[in-house]
Amino acid sequence: MGVTVDVRQVYKYPFEQVVASFLRKYPNPMDKNVISVKIVEEKRDASTGIIYRKRIAVCQNVVPEILRKVSILKVPSIQLEEESWLNPQERNMAIRSHCLTWTQYASMKEESVFRESMENPNWTEFIQRGRISITGAGFLNYILETFASTFLRQGAQKGIRIMEMLLKEQCGAPLAE
């Protein structure tokens, strides 16, 4: 079956500041679920100027304790892989991430874009689509997808709040129209 969550946000800050804050967002005391983030690959294409990064995030297992009675869900942490392509000339960054844990039972993928806003070139638009589908858990598929959908929505909103806080701390008040 699967669940999809779409998010759109306009940050009233320039693209460069938003991307810099995004890359420094975790770990953060506002979200203790993210334990660590490590860059495992980074390279710049000399001809296009595009910067490619691959990062691995280690997060606490947030599956409710009652569901962890199922042995496959009883792990202390979850790993996520994030790849990003930053194009400074065109002022956009594409991001793809997916879960490396439970791949035989679940698929969690997110695709995101930061880009210069059409409303104002000093603002940055963020668009994200997350999709989770769970298979092989029998009657638990629906329960786990429902939990995952709620967690994805709440996580996206928390991520936006963290970004707004970081931007305000590092750059001051948002830019007006």
User: Both tokens of residue 127?
Assistant: 């668009």
Q: What is the pLDDT at residue 81?
A: 96
Q: How many domains in the chain?
A: 1
Answer whether residue 96 is part of any domain: yes
Answer whether residue 17 is part of any domain: yes
Highest mean pLDDT among 23-32, 60-69, 117-126: 117-126
Q: pLDDT at residue 75 above 90? A: no
Given a contact cutoff of 8 angstroms between Cβ atoms, the answer to whether 129 and 4 are in contact is yes
Show the domain range for 105.
Answer: 2-170
Answer whether residue 140 is part of any domain: yes
Sequence-separated (6 or more) residues with CB below 8 Å from residue 14: 122, 123, 124, 175
pLDDT category of residue 145 using cuts at 50, 70 and 90: confident
Q: What is the pLDDT at residue 151?
A: 79
Answer whether residue 155 is part of any domain: yes
Answer whether residue 177 is part of any domain: no
Q: pLDDT at residue 18 above 70? A: yes
| pLDDT tens by residue, 149-176 | 887 888 889 899 999 999 999 888 887 7
Answer whether residue 176 is part of any domain: no
Answer whether residue 22 is part of any domain: yes
Answer whether residue 153 is part of any domain: yes
Q: For the domain that residue 164 is a member of, what is the CATH number?
A: 3.30.530.20
